[in-house]
Amino acid sequence: MLLKTFGWSFAITAAGLALAGVLWGWQGLAIVAILSVLEISLSFDNAVINAGILRKMNAFWQKIFLTVGILIAVFGMRLVFPIVIVAITAKLGPLEAVDLAINDKARYEELVTAAHPAIAAFGGMFLLMIFLDFIFEDRDIKWLAWLEKPLARLGKLETLSTVVALVVLLITATTLATAVPVHDGVGTVDKATTVLLAGIGGLVTYLIVGGISGFFEDRLEQEEEEAEEEAEKASAKGGPSVVGLAGKAAFFLFLYLEVIDASFSFDGVIGAFAITNDIFVMALGLGIGAMYIRSLTVFLVRKGTLDDYVYLEHGAHYAIGALAVILLITIKHEISEVVTGLIGVVLIGLSFWSSVVRNRKEAGPGDGSGAKAEVSSGV
């Protein structure tokens, strides 16, 4: 199971490190290895979130996630995306941006860093909406009941997540974005308008992609219920429609996964410039890390880990909320990637430990029924 799921990751790691050693020597090999670890530490919560969505897909779409999805993640987000950002913000042509990335790495890094407020606002708002929609939803199983129960009651107000996100964006734009330090640390610049526009873009993207995927997912559930009824009557009328609709639902969930992955990758791409400004070294190192996150996602799905450790999704969503806040804060203040990674690891670790405690209590003496009633709190 382990080799089957992580086999490609192991193979790509070996090939990637060998390539780095050949092209850039021992120093390049070390940098690629460090970037891989950085990506894994920053995106572990991403794997848990992705697993919660991927388990709704069939084996075919899980393979698409590992093949086409990883190509988008590595070449799209870790290589093409920084170049596109430079081209847009610096008003350069694509070829000029590529030439700059190859031949003037210092200037390229400066332009990417200058675009950070817009990137952080977009990604921060998208991730914040994921967290808010989760925390305002009334769930049978609650991790921090003292917090989640009152928030679930507030969540009965429609559009509350959007309102809260817009308020956060407004506060960010009028405080953190009004005096952003420039790249060389001398002087500041007003990025309020940029942050507002980028943040609204992230919010709109979430509403569109999440709304479409949710719509098809609901339709799929309805069709599956109808198909079951038809099957009981020995009729096959509902079969074809379910297959077609499942494809649509899986496709939009796949797009949703890719946008989530993109949002998670923002801090990794920006943070990687603290280690190297060579886009090819960066893409290779972050790409290897992204491959492990994909494999870990599939592993969690196939092992049923989220069903066995029910608070993991809670911990991952709290980590998402923390990452969203951190991204917005980094518009003005620098925060170490070590802090970002540790917050996610600690929150997921606590949720895992709480799940283990819960499982032990349910398996304890006098609990022969095995029923999984709501647990008020795991911590």
pLDDT digits 0-9 by tens, 279-298: 888 888 888 888 888 888 88
Please give, one letter per residue, the 3-state secondary structure of the chain.
CHHHHHHHHHHHHHHHHHHHHHHHHHHHHHHHHHHHHHHHHHHHHHHHHHHHHHCCCCHHHHHHHHCHHHHHHHHHHHHHHHHHHHHHHCCCCHHHHHHHHHHCHHHHHHHHHHCHHHHHHHHHHHHHHHHHHHHCCCCCCCCEHHHHHHHHHHCCCCCHHHHHHHHHHHHHHHHCCCCEECCCCCCEECCHHHHHHHHHHHHHHHHHHHHHHHHHHHHHHHHHHHHHHHHHCCCCCCHHHHHHHHHHHHHHHHHHHHHHHHHHHHHHHHHHCCCCCCHHHHHHHHHHHHHHHHHHHHHHHHHCHHHHCCCHHHHHHHHHHHHHHHHHHCCCCCCCHHHHHHHHHHHHHHHHHHHHHHHHHHCCCCCCCCCCCCCCECC
Q: What is the pLDDT of residue 186?
A: 65
Q: What is the pLDDT of residue 294?
A: 81
pLDDT at 354 over 60: yes
Of the chain, the end-to-end C-alpha distance in Å amounts to 32
pLDDT digits 0-9 by tens, 232-260: 654 544 444 433 335 666 777 787 778 77
Q: What is the pLDDT of residue 9?
A: 85
Q: What is the pLDDT of residue 247?
A: 62
Q: What is the pLDDT of residue 370?
A: 43
List the chain domain ranges. Answer: 2-361
Q: What is the pLDDT of residue 283?
A: 84
pLDDT at 53 over 50: yes
Instruction: List Cβ neighbours of 178 (8 Å cut-off, separation of 6 or more).
Output: 190, 191, 192
CA distance readout (Å), 11 to 25, 59, 289, 299: 20, 22, 13, 17
pLDDT digits 0-9 by tens, 68-97: 887 887 777 777 877 887 788 778 888 888
Confidence of residue 318 (pLDDT cuts 50, 70, 90): very high
Q: What is the pLDDT of residue 167?
A: 96
Q: Does residue 189 contact residue 207 with C-beta atoms inside 8 Å?
A: no
Among 3-17, 148-162, 279-293, the range of highest mean pLDDT: 148-162
Mean pLDDT of the chain: 79
Among 40-44, 190-194, 207-211, the range of highest mean pLDDT: 190-194
Q: What is the pLDDT of residue 329?
A: 92
Percent of the chain predicted with pLDDT > 70: 83
Please name which of 162, 155, 154 lies closest in space to residue 125, comparing C-alpha atoms. Answer: 162
